[in-house]
Structure 1
Amino acid sequence: MSGWEAGRDDEEAGAVMRTVVRQLKLWREAAGLTQAEFGAAIGYGEELVSSVERGRRIPRPEYLDAADEVLGAGGKIAALKEDVTEVRYPKKVRDLKKLEAEAFELGAYNNSVVHGLLQTEAYARAVFSARRPPFTADELEQRLTARVARQGIINGTAAHPVFSFVQCESTLRRPIGGKMVMRGQLQRLLEIAEFRNVDLQVLPLGREDNPGLAGSFRLLRLRDGTTAGHVEVQHISRVITDPKEVQLLDMRYGIIRAQALSTRESTALIEKVLGET
């Protein structure tokens, strides 16, 4: 159950967990089982069952499957898996994932690391491992799992949503995780660059003007006709909905894309850096 601790300050996750806990406890008591007996029946210890029923641990999908079978719930407990898996992730990750799911177009500029949706698992692990103070092993795995889950939105066979990414050349040359990790990451960028709904550009270091010096950001054009922005710096993650602020980001992104290399030129540069790595 490593990495499935319940967040204490997450109201949405807390509401879901209270519902799940109530159901699990009601089904167990209706079956006339103690926590120890129930734990033995599903292959878990009494202490862990107690932690789940007190809302301190989020039950994994296999826990719910075993509980459903042992308690004869006929799929009613197993049906909670999707909600439970979602609340495992930090709230800011869930909120961003929802925004990305509602977007028909997503644009992003990154000047520190490769964008999260484009990262290989090894690269993402290296990025999270560089954090100071460091994440615990459980926290690192939680964030890594959440990042990989978000990447499912990029599908090379889909037409929508449409993606455009501009990576500063520095992100291609910064050897995060070491040479082998970077080789894998650059190869992944070349793969994604072939997706028909993805435009991947590189902003060369030689450009004298760069309106993105203030940091990385993204724009999400939503299906309801509105546009939202998102910025993340240090430990702050902020969704921007004010039209004036969004317009400013939109203008900056347009200039950045105009200054960046074309998609074909960008692919050639990535291949060149890969050859040098």
Structure 2
Amino acid sequence: MTHINALDPGASPLDYYGFELRRHREAAGLTQRQLGDILNYTGSLVGQIETARKLPTPEFSERADAALGTDGMFSRLVELVLRSRLPAWFQQVAELEARALEICTFQTHVVHGLLQAQSYARSVLGVLDQADLDDRTAVRLARQRIFDKEVPPVLWMVISEGALHQEIGGAETMRNQLAHLLAFEHNPRVNIQVLPFSVGAHVGLQGAFNLYRFERDPDIVYTEGYGSGHPTANPDTVKDCSLRYDHLRAAALSLKDSAELIRRVMEERYGQQGGDPVA
């Protein structure tokens, strides 16, 4: 077991979080068990977070701020902690997501991570690797907190109809995932269009890509391979992908018709809507 006194707060954001949690807990005169009781968690979990052996969650952080009077410090810090646990090659993408005013994504086989429900994300992440699956799922879902900002980004997602039929995690998981997409139906900042099978050949046949647009910085195009990401601000690439995206949006169903197709696939292929749509 890592001894808490040996924890180096400069080693990582997770170590710093644990160091500060212990410091504020002791300043409040609380044991790990007592703090756990206040937060409605176990003292063991508090100890694991203090020794950087367990990731804190946003919910834990909010409760710790309230209990220890830290004025939102842990809630702010947990964002950095969770982002630091992303694969190194993907951390830059999370930073782009956090800074972008507009995110445009075209997806061919899966729902984009920013719109994945918990069980769906867990199924995607667990295909080849079950290790630390709870923590990796939490880290992925934490990216979605950009929609909780005072001024969240505008998201456009064009998704192939095939992704609605690709059964990931079983019928219940897919039902919940499609219900989760429908929950954004009346949100003007999250726009989902389905590219139907009937379109045939289209300009996105080369694969998925993302466009990030910023207030002052140049637009960036991001594509992904196995275990690697490829962001670029090359003007020719950005111009080409922007044109492709315009054509994809034009070929896709309207927002209303897309929602109707998602609803129909959910009901006909995966049964009636049931359960928590974000479970």
Cα distance in 1 between the residues matched to 2:113 and 2:56: 27
- SS of residue in 1 equivalent to 2:199: coil
Over 3 Å counting, the alpha-carbon distance change for 1:80 and 1:122 in structure 2 is: closer
Cα offset, 1:58, TM superposition: 6.5
Cα distance in 2 between the residues matched to 1:183 and 1:51: 34
Cα distance in 1 between the residues matched to 2:230 and 2:240: 15
1:276 matched to 2:268? The reply is yes
Over 3 Å counting, the alpha-carbon distance change for 1:94 and 1:181 in structure 2 is: same
1:117 matched to 2:127? The reply is no
Cα offset, 1:195, TM superposition: 0.8
8 Å CA contact retained: 1:117, 1:154: no
- What residue number does 1:145 align with? 138
Structure index of larger Rg: 1
8 Å CA contact retained: 2:49, 2:56: no
Cα distance in 1 between the residues matched to 2:176 and 2:15: 42
TM-score normalised to structure 1 length: 0.70
Q: Alignment partner for residue 229 of structure 2, among 230, 233, 237?
A: 237
Listed one character per residue, the Cα deviations across residues 210-256 of structure 1 (whole Å, up to 9, x for unaligned) are 22222211111012142112222321123222222222221221221
- What residue number does 2:254 align with? 262
Q: Give percent identity, aligned residues only.
A: 30
Cα distance in 1 between the residues matched to 2:48 and 2:164: 48
- SS of residue in 1 equivalent to 2:223: strand
- Name structure 1 gaps, 5 residues minimum: 2-12, 31-37
1:126 matched to 2:123? The reply is yes
Over 3 Å counting, the alpha-carbon distance change for 1:269 and 1:244 in structure 2 is: same
Cα distance in 1 between the residues matched to 2:214 and 2:138: 25
Listed one character per residue, the Cα deviations across residues 112-131 of structure 1 (whole Å, up to 9, x for unaligned) are 101111111111111112x2
Cα distance in 2 between the residues matched to 1:128 and 1:17: 22
The root-mean-square deviation of aligned C-alpha atoms, in Å, is 4.0
TM-score normalised to structure 2 length: 0.70
Cα offset, 1:75, TM superposition: 6.2
- The residue identity in structure 2 corresponding to 1:254 is D
Cα distance in 1 between the residues matched to 2:48 and 2:194: 52
Listed one character per residue, the Cα deviations across residues 73-101 of structure 1 (whole Å, up to 9, x for unaligned) are x8679946633552344345543332122
1:103 matched to 2:100? The reply is yes
- Name structure 2 gaps, 5 residues minimum: 2-9, 37-42, 270-279
Q: Alignment partner for residue 203 of structure 2, among 184, 189, 211?
A: 211
8 Å CA contact retained: 1:51, 1:57: yes
Cα offset, 1:174, TM superposition: 1.1
How many matched pairs? 249
- What residue number does 2:239 align with? 247
